[in-house]
Amino acid sequence: MGLNALVTTVRNTANGAAVAQGQVGVTYQWDPQMQAGVDYMYMKGNGYLDNNHAHQISAILNYFLSKRTKAYTEVVYQRTNASAQALVSGIVEPNGTSGGPTQLVARVGVLTRF
């Protein structure tokens, strides 16, 4: 089992906008081929960003096919305050943002490292 924690602050020096985020998570590998993980993240913008904030929960299940290749499924859910639009990182189609304060994304894929 592995635990992780991350605290990050991003600032735009051109306009003063800033976002702080904190993330905690856990991963567990119950056999050589199967691994699961869960993360929670809280994000908060400063006054320039209307003090908007968001909660995000993600879960992933990895099945290792070899040392370099895995199949995975991932689910990410984000909820912002009512005046903001949710935006899960990595979503680009059509413009990435949701039409409201929640967004749910599910991914299934295969990853190979070279």
Name the pTM for this structure: 0.85
| pLDDT category of residue 10 using cuts at 50, 70 and 90 | very high
How do residues 58-83 score in pLDDT, each as one tens digit? 999 999 999 999 999 999 999 999 88
CA-closest candidate to residue 86, choices 72, 102, 71, 69: 102
Instruction: Tell me 1's DSSP state.
Output: -
CA distance 97 to 104: 11
> What proportion of the chain, given as a percentage, has pLDDT over 90?
75
- For residue 51, the SS3 value is coil
Under a CB-based contact definition with an 8 Å cutoff, are residues 102 and 77 in contact? yes
| pLDDT category of residue 87 using cuts at 50, 70 and 90 | confident
Under a CB-based contact definition with an 8 Å cutoff, are residues 71 and 55 in contact? no
Judged against a pLDDT cut of 90, whether residue 44 lies above it is answered with: yes
Return the C-alpha torsion angle 30, 41, 11, 44, nearest 10.
Answer: 180
